Amino acid sequence: MPANLPPQYYELEREFKREQDPKEKLRLAQELLAMMPKHKGTDKLQAELKAKISKLRQQIEGGQKKHGARTSETHDHIEREGAGQAILIGPPNSGKSSLVASLTHAQPLIADYPYTTREPLAGMMTFETVQIQLIDTPPVSEEQFESYLINLIRQADVALLVLDIMSPGLEAEVAITRKLLEEKRIILSSESGETDDPRYSIKKTLVIAHKCFEDDCEKNMENLRKLCPGLEVIPSTILDDEVLLKLRSAIFKSLKIIRVYTKKIGQEPVLIDPIVLPLEGTVEDAALTIHKDFAQKLLFAKVWRPGRFEGQKVKNTFILEDKDIIEFHI
């Protein structure tokens, strides 16, 4: 059976063969594997590529050993936890680490000089009744660009481009950050999506206008909107709890998810630990999160929607909304 590989595969393969840096070579190999059609005609190619990826990982980890010390991680993957994963990216001293420290219980190293963050760090942000994973990362600049960032950004649900709104070099920082990401085939956009070229990743992005506490903040916000056309710009400062609450809400909304609470028949609902579904998730989708057998046995459900209806009988295909309360009947 022919492999039927797309033209972009061969172009990326040539780039892979030319590359000398093991970390970048690993990233390209992972892109090749993701791009490769999965069928019998590519079974052998998949196996060979997986072997190359394994060998590159061993090479990278082996090169990181020092005098018998424990092998270091490659940092190119962080297991998703909670309702979603948002990755913070941006130029040096933009305030990513201080934001993560304020929004989560993580304790990144914070200092008033650039390049303090050396490795990615994950922390859990609470928004009402859900937890959202935030990932702090090293800065993006012409002097430093960690190759593992590409995979981390690709895997995240949403990117948060954190910018110091008071920086005199803001325009250049925006241009350099976007240019470097586009060179790595990451396109910051108002919505995630796909292109005709599978090597590219279009990543939903919020622009975080950080350190927005001066009198001329709105003027700088307007300037930032012009520098990032089409992207939603959210003000941010660690000095105002109300601003941070609005930022939490904006991050939650960017994930395009809903929270659905369950109740037992004849009992009051417990509004904690909700079922998390994508927008337009249905009653059946909610049941499937419990167990596929449960969904198959489901006869109907009753839904409570505050201010709209109380205990309305609905079918499995009924589309749920955020904060609905559902009672399953089997």
- Report the alpha-carbon distance of residue 16 to residue 32 in Å, rounded: 9
Q: What is the mean pLDDT of residues 229-258?
A: 95
Statement to judge: residues 262 and 248 lie in one domain: no
Statement to judge: residues 36 and 165 lie in one domain: no
Residue 153 lies in a domain: yes
Q: Is 323 exposed, middle or buried (0-12, 13-18, 19+ CB in 10 A)?
A: middle
Sheet holding 324-329, edge to edge: 275-278, 257-262, 324-329, 300-305, 309-314
* Residue 262: CATH number of its domain: 3.10.20.30
Q: Which two tokens stand for residue 302?
A: 């009753």
- Report the alpha-carbon distance of residue 82 to residue 276 in Å, rounded: 9
Please write the tens of the pLDDT for every residue from 122-158. 999 999 999 999 999 999 999 888 888 988 999 999 9
Residue 269 lies in a domain: yes
Across 47-185, where does the E strand assignment appear?
Answer: 85-89, 121-127, 130-136, 158-164
Which of the listed residues 195, 224, 254 is the one where a domain comes to its end? 254
Which of the listed residues 225, 254, 283 is the one where a domain comes to its end? 254
Statement to judge: residues 169 and 129 lie in one domain: yes
Please write the tens of the pLDDT for every residue from 283-297. 999 999 988 888 888
In which band, very low, low, confident or very high, does the pLDDT at 258 lie, cut at 50, 70 and 90? Answer: very high
Which of the listed residues 214, 231, 254 is the one where a domain comes to its end? 254
Statement to judge: residues 234 and 309 lie in one domain: no
Count of structural domains within the chain? 3
Statement to judge: residues 13 and 125 lie in one domain: no
Listed range (60-74, 113-127, 237-251) with the worst mean pLDDT: 60-74
Statement to judge: residues 123 and 151 lie in one domain: yes
Q: Is the pLDDT of residue 109 over 70?
A: no
Residue 80 lies in a domain: no
pTM over 0.85: no
Statement to judge: residues 145 and 239 lie in one domain: yes
Statement to judge: residues 146 and 90 lie in one domain: yes
Residues in the chain: 330
Task: Give the amino acid at 151.
Answer: N
Residue 72 has what pLDDT? 40
* Residue 185: CATH number of its domain: 3.40.50.300
Statement to judge: residues 182 and 113 lie in one domain: yes
Statement to judge: residues 89 and 117 lie in one domain: yes
In which band, very low, low, confident or very high, does the pLDDT at 68 lie, cut at 50, 70 and 90? Answer: very low
Domain residues for the domain of 250 are: 85-254
Statement to judge: residues 132 and 180 lie in one domain: yes
Q: Is the pLDDT of residue 181 over 60?
A: yes
Task: Give the amino acid at 66.
Answer: K
Structural contact between residues 322 and 278, judged by C-beta atoms closer than 8 angstroms: no
